[in-house]
Chains A and B, each alone.
Chain A
Amino acid sequence: MPVNILSLANAVWILFKKDLLCEFRTGYAIGTLLMFALLILSSISMTFSGISLSAELTANLLWMIIFFCSMAGLGRAFLEEQETGTLFTLSIYFRPQAIVLGKMLYNIALLIGLTCLIVPLFMIFLHVDFQLWRELFAVLLLGDIGIGAVSTLMAAMLGGAQGKHSLFTVLTLPIILPQFLSAIHATMTILSGNVPTIQEIAYMLGYDSIMILAGYMLYSFICCE
């Protein structure tokens, strides 16, 4: 394997481990995400208690919870580095591509962890039963990767902007929308007892790949002024 790829992979892994260590010690993002998820889940379960939900509404609710939870916590990874000045130090010692990919990996891992917590609670609170677990896992994974990648890229782009925290959600939604709608449709199909088409899965996979590639290619321009 070329030295460049190895060194990039090593740097991405080191950045990911650093973020995990800092998060483990401070618990800011995990705390925010958990509280937000529990708050939304309990509100929704109280609103819809005793009502039988359609597959369409159930899929929409699940992805809305995941999306808004991610908006509450994923932007932090970059915005906090910008505010504390550590992003400047990172840009001296790490390649821009390593920084953005490390952050993406961390955000995606965080979102997958959160989804693993949300889904069982969602099933309990809203009395939802998923039959096609393998397909659901694939759709959730692809959706999480898309949301994680776009959130990271948007947080990186908004680093120098004023009012970045409020702008983050507003600007992320239109870009995530294609993946968001695909994930909702695929989840709806699974809830109806059918398997999503290969085209749907391929579309989600393509979207994720493009967003990760966009982050890899664009961040060196974003970070340099």
Chain B
Amino acid sequence: MDLSMSVELVNLGKKYNHKGLFQGINAVIKAGQCLGITGSNGSGKTTLLKLIAGIEQPSEGYVYMKGNRGDLRREERVGSIGMVSPQIAFYDAMTGIENIMFFCSCSLRRCSIKDAQEGCMRVGLDGYSDDLVSTYSTGMKQRLKLAIMLVFQPTLWLLDEPSSNLDAVGKKIVGNSIKSALQDGATVIVATNECWELGYASEHIILGECSVDSI
């Protein structure tokens, strides 16, 4: 696994049914830095994160990812990327711990019960870690997404509205997680309209009405 990763967006654009969502996005984000993506609803923040994750293909431009050993191909990126997004869903028939262990055991990684329990504890789910996810509230599921990131320790953190549905304590956990990820040299990309979350970013992309400015 690569220990550090830099992401380069080159003239990136996305169209749906010939209608441009955004275009001409250029940015370079290095290890230990945070990129903030903001914009109105429907401006393409989530789509931009999906393009970076490699789940969707751009209509134009490229996403380059460089690790310790050079450019990473799409299949090589798996195992280095972690994501918190409203679209992330869990297996209701499995417990919180089982979900963490399952998603963190991809590739050749091993995740022990102890690691998973520690992850649950760090996000305040320690009393519920052995409960089925079907009994979790929306906020608890959001915390579980963060727990996976903390256990998985990806080199690229993709955060899509990471504090949505969270209470004040949960928001503090998000802030601390971003800070600790940056200290550990991870690359963080956060798509949000919350000013305090954008405060961690050293560079910003503002999306909206097909006009893109990189500040």
Interface residues of chain A, those whose CB is within 8 Å of chain B, are: 3, 6-7, 10-11, 14, 18, 21-22, 25-26, 84-86, 88-89, 91-98, 220, 223-225
Contact = CB atoms under 8 A, between A and B. Distances in A.
Contacts of B54: 224
A3 B78 contact: no
A46 to B, nearest CB: 36
Contacts of B75: 95-97, 220
B53 interface: yes
A224 B87 CA distance: 15
A220 B74 contact: yes
Nearest to B87: A88
B213 interface: no
B2 interface: no
A93 B55 contact: no
B89 A14 contact: no
Nearest to A83: B89
A92 B53 contact: yes
A94 B106 contact: yes
A60 to B, nearest CB: 37
Contact of B91 (A11, A22, A223): A22
Nearest to B54: A224
A26 B93 contact: yes
Given A3-B108, A220-B74, A92 B82 contact: yes
B81 interface: yes
Contact of B56 (A89, A96, A97, A225): A225
Contacts, number: 76
Interface string B93-119: 110001000111111100000000000
B94 A224 contact: no
Given A18-B91, A22-B94, A88-B88, 12 more contacts: A10-B105, A21-B93, A22-B91, A22-B93, A25-B93, A85-B87, A92-B82, A93-B79, A93-B104, A95-B106, A223-B55, A224-B55
Contact of B107 (A11, A22, A26, A89): A11
Contact of A92 (B55, B91, B92): B55
A91 to B, nearest CB: 6
Contact of B106 (A88, A97, A98): A98
A209 B91 CA distance: 31
Contacts of A89: 88-90, 103
A18 B101 CA distance: 10
B83 interface: yes
A171 B82 CA distance: 35
B153 interface: no
Contacts of B89: 84-86, 88-89
B23 interface: no
A2 to B, nearest CB: 11
